[in-house]
Chains A and B, each alone.
Chain A
Amino acid sequence: MEDLKLPGIDYGALLPMLILFGAACVGILIEVFTPRRTRHPIQLGLGLVAIVAAFVAVVVQHSTRKITIGGAVAIDGPTVFLQGAILVLGLVSLMLIGERSVERGGPFVSQAAITVGSQKDLKQAGDQPGMTEVYPLTLFALGGMMLFVAANDLLTMFIALEVFSLPLYLLCALARRRRLLSQEAALKYFLLGSYASAFFLFGVALVYGFAGGISLGQVHDAVVNPQRSQILLYAGLAMIAIGLLFKAALAPFHVWTPDVYQGAPTPVTALMAAVTKVAAFGALLRILYVAFDGVRWDFQPVLGAIAVLTMLVGAVLAVTQTDMKRLLAYSSVANAGYLLVGVLALNEEGLSGTMFYLVAYGFSVLAAFGMVTLVRDADGEATHLARWAGLGRKSPLFAATFTFILLAFAGIPLTSGFTSKFAVFGAAVEGGQTWLVIFGVVTSMLLAFPYLRVVVMLWLSEPGESTPTVSIPGFLTSAALVIGVAATFALGVVPAPLIDLTRDAAQFVR
């Protein structure tokens, strides 16, 4: 029998992920060994420290360009950049998740297993401290996302997909209020997500049959110099794409988005909208640019059609929404379409533009959902749009900040929304995809309307009897909001440093 030999492992390059997974495991032990009262500060502190430490490790590794553990993980420019983005955005999400002062006990349920509507449930909705398992779950999710964008073979990518998806399914179900909605959202997300994973895995099998290997480099070689039936290639690529398009919330695989975004606890929604997008698009970029670059002429029109469909669906349906979280969900669908336009440029500008967009959009959307958590009445968050009427009169600072974020979503200059749109559209025109840009511009016009409607609602409508109050954010939420808004402004006014960073990072290793 042949001796099993461990491949060479560059622990330094893997350190950021190891830190997160390690901290997540420690978090589980904390759940077991520490008394309930003290868990929240310990877990939160551990999570924040772990993310900061992982970020430091990423920064230290910033010039590493190598493939390690037997070809399973590639550390290159996009990996380092996207991992950094995941960590920074994840840190801000964790601040929102850790907020306990806006709502007594925090946004999470204390015991998820209690029957909804029972006496016990009413009691726990009142003041019992929320679950602290959310912190290890979040860390696992973030670690999985970091592996996802670094995966250099299809199986590693699949494992990473599951590692970050499963915690997200759970997190969706843990809302303290509106628990049925939350559980339904989690179930929906789980079922559809499982299908998507299954498609992905089947696609991997077909591509393995085609290429005789699962590493992206082998697939690339096989695509350039095909030995077997190309049907395997196309069917496999299509199925892998379905799995990724689902995670990225691209039409027609977006149907889960509004329900899940609405049902999940709002800080988790923020995490999904900002960080999961980075992970999903990071993997999509790697798959398309590294493995399937050779058949770009075949998938470009198909994915182009999907981008157009996504932008149209997101923009048109956003117009009709009456719930703030659903509106933001459809707007994030439309934004996924713009991101795909950047991906389809299939040049270095497209890569850097997409990465810029992911970071810029992540900060804005975190701020947006962070602010949604603040508008509340006795029953928790008041997300119905009609309820927001006249908030500008009652809370001018809040309304002004939210207006600024909406202007960023609408792509008005001096916000990051404008620069990022400019970056991806410019790259797409350069890459010969002018038709996508035209659709992008047309849908931007449509999409401006719902944002404007909210602005009108905030400022120009008279406040009603039922206008909810804006809670005073605690330290963590305030910090998250300041970071999100400041980044949205800074990336609109002085985007040059981040653009340069993405340009330096825009080179995959194969």
Chain B
Amino acid sequence: MNDFPFLSILTLLPLVGAIAVAFIPRAKAELAKTVAFVWSLVVLVLSVFMWIAFQVDGDRFQFRESYAWIPSWDARFTFAADGIALVMLMLIAILFPVVILASWNDVEKTNRSAPVYFSLLLAFEFTMIGVFAAADVFLFYVFFEVMLIPMYFIIGSFGGPRRQYAAVKFFLYSLVGGLFMLAAVIGLWVVGGNTFDWAKLAEAAGSIDQNTARWLFLGFFVAFAIKAPFFPFHTWLPDAGGAAPAGAAALLVGVMDKVGTFGILRYCLSLFPEASRWFAPAALVLGVIGIIYAALLAVGQNDLKRLVSYTSIAHFGFIGIGIFAFTSQAGTGSVLYMVNHGLATGLLFIVVGMFVARRGSNLISDFGGAGKLVPVLAGVFFFAGLASLALPGTAPFISEFLVLIGTFTVHPAYAVVATAGIILAAAYVLWMVQRTTQGTLNPALAEVPEMKKDITLREKVVVAPLILLIILLGFYPKPVTDVINPAVQATMQDVNVEDPGPTAVVANERVAR
């Protein structure tokens, strides 16, 4: 079964879909939406098969495929997935149909072409799958840069009032990060023996001059920190998240930002272990600052989408400290958090989008007492908020708990400060929910006819799978952690390759793969 070329087909499918949808005439909007939705379901089905075919106790990298591309640079179309990549691919496959369904009526209001929008969404899915499936540094870089383009046009053409500013800021920030990474990729190619093959580079990792490795590490890290985004590289996200259509914003923080943390795990830690350890204290400090700072700013926001963007920066602080704590527990927590954050914040963005679509405004002050008009939607909103603040019983709780406990064993001080972030999370989420849906009914709100419509069937279909998954993984995360664990342990061993004793044996096994 594993000889089946899962990853290349999974990567190409959305691209084919994007091209097909782009050629649907503008007048046939419904057809375009349906095709895009069905197409994303096909991708989902294929990735479920891949999930089943993945052998939890098998090799670290499975579904490996490799095709020649630029022989003289030794750049190849190499695809392979470890547990971390697999869960991210699964998250993508789940979120895209949900978002496509959630964005069903978003385009009509903007007087823009629906086929273009849904084609861009599928093109974005193509770049997302590619970036997680790539196991060749050059190929990864290509997808890393190309993914900017569909998102740039989604924000710039279909976003809110400040869309131009947000789109350009988003593109420039990401491009600057990408060019730092380009310099590092070139440097890595030269010092790593003129190859882009991830496996060969990871083997050569120990032999790179440490000073050079630190510079190369920083090149990669800056790119990923901007993408993630970590404090102080985060300022583009509130603008982009605030301006993007709600569905695209859910993808932005739910999927695309994960490329940053995924890149740190796969490329920074494994290719530059010594430099990662050297940089870890600084990264931990940045993570903790990010948690507190972004949470404080979130409390003060008056714009729903910007608020959710800030919460997500705070959550990325947790993911960051979990990665750089260098324990398997915290690492597993981080990867699990990447999945859960995608589900919870994705849900929160989608629900916020439903509110915004009804009210025609992002401002919290334009709501107030909305729960009296749309009780079910307000309930879903409340649930999404609770999941986002990591209430026990929801999936994010487990990951946050793992991160904190794993960090506490090695860096108790950071864990203690980070815990303050949980309290702030409760503050911003509960206050947001209170100001939006509770209390006395805002009279202006009651006059908006749209606000009288409670959650529709389509919207129920959108939120149901996410709610189910959040609860399911909240009580029984084992299927996911089983997949993540071996990959995280292998990554942690990469970081400690110079340790004597048992890890060296395991490291040899990895090399033998």
Of the candidate stretches B141-149, B302-310, B452-460, B463-471, the one touching chain A is: B141-149
- B-facing residues in A417-445 (Cβ within 8 Å): 418-419, 421-422, 425-426, 429-430, 434, 437-438, 441, 444-445
Whether the pair A426, B190 counts as a contact (CB closer than 8 A) is: yes
| Minimum Cβ distance to chain B for residue A365 (Å) | 21
| Minimum Cβ distance to chain B for residue A467 (Å) | 17
The docked-state distance in angstroms from the alpha carbon of A413 to that of B138 is: 10
Answer whether A412 and B72 are a contact pair too, CB < 8 Å, given A437-B186, A445-B176, A459-B156: no
Partner of A422, one of B71, B164, B172, B182: B182
Whether the pair A460, B146 counts as a contact (CB closer than 8 A) is: no
Tell me whether A299 is interfacial, beta carbon within 8 Å.
no
Answer whether A445 and B182 are a contact pair too, CB < 8 Å, given A412-B146, A499-B72: no
Answer whether A413 and B179 are a contact pair too, CB < 8 Å, given A460-B156, A460-B167: no
| Minimum Cβ distance to chain A for residue B68 (Å) | 8
Whether the pair A437, B70 counts as a contact (CB closer than 8 A) is: no
Main secondary structure of the interface of A (DSSP, over half): helix
The docked-state distance in angstroms from the alpha carbon of A460 to that of B145 is: 21
Tell me whether A414 is interfacial, beta carbon within 8 Å.
yes
| Minimum Cβ distance to chain B for residue A492 (Å) | 9
Whether the pair B187, A434 counts as a contact (CB closer than 8 A) is: yes
Partner of A430, one of B68, B72, B190: B190
The docked-state distance in angstroms from the alpha carbon of A418 to that of B144 is: 13
Identify the closest chain A residue to B148 (Cβ).
A412
Answer whether A449 and B172 are a contact pair too, CB < 8 Å, given A412-B145, A499-B73, A500-B72: yes
Q: Mark B148-178, 1 if CB is under 8 A from A, else 0.
A: 1100010011000001100110011001100
Residues of A contacting B182 with CB < 8 Å?
Answer: 411, 421-422, 425, 441
Total A-B Cβ pairs within 8 A: 78
Residues of A contacting B168 with CB < 8 Å?
Answer: 452, 456
The docked-state distance in angstroms from the alpha carbon of A22 to that of B176 is: 51
Residues of A contacting B349 with CB < 8 Å?
Answer: none
| Minimum Cβ distance to chain A for residue B226 (Å) | 12
Tell me whether B198 is interfacial, beta carbon within 8 Å.
no
Whether the pair A496, B190 counts as a contact (CB closer than 8 A) is: no
Residues of B contacting A445 with CB < 8 Å?
Answer: 172, 175-176, 179
The docked-state distance in angstroms from the alpha carbon of A499 to that of B73 is: 9
Residues of B contacting A494 with CB < 8 Å?
Answer: 69
The docked-state distance in angstroms from the alpha carbon of A246 to that of B168 is: 35
Residues of B contacting A448 with CB < 8 Å?
Answer: 172, 175
The docked-state distance in angstroms from the alpha carbon of A496 to that of B71 is: 7
Tell me whether A503 is interfacial, beta carbon within 8 Å.
yes
| Minimum Cβ distance to chain A for residue B151 (Å) | 13
The docked-state distance in angstroms from the alpha carbon of A411 to that of B182 is: 10
Whether the pair B180, A503 counts as a contact (CB closer than 8 A) is: no
Tell me whether A258 is interfacial, beta carbon within 8 Å.
no
Whether the pair B175, A429 counts as a contact (CB closer than 8 A) is: no
Answer whether A407 and B149 are a contact pair too, CB < 8 Å, given A425-B186, A456-B164: yes
Q: Which residues does A use to contact B, with CB under 8 Å?
A: 407, 410-414, 418-419, 421-422, 425-426, 429-430, 434, 437-438, 441, 444-445, 448-449, 452, 456, 459-460, 494-496, 499-500, 503
Q: Which residues does B use to contact A, with CB under 8 Å?
A: 68-73, 141-143, 145-146, 148-149, 153, 156-157, 163-164, 167-168, 171-172, 175-176, 179-180, 182-183, 186-187, 189-190
Given A426-B73, A452-B171, A456-B168, 9 further pairs, Cβ under 8 A: A410-B175, A412-B146, A414-B142, A418-B145, A444-B179, A459-B157, A496-B72, A499-B70, A500-B71
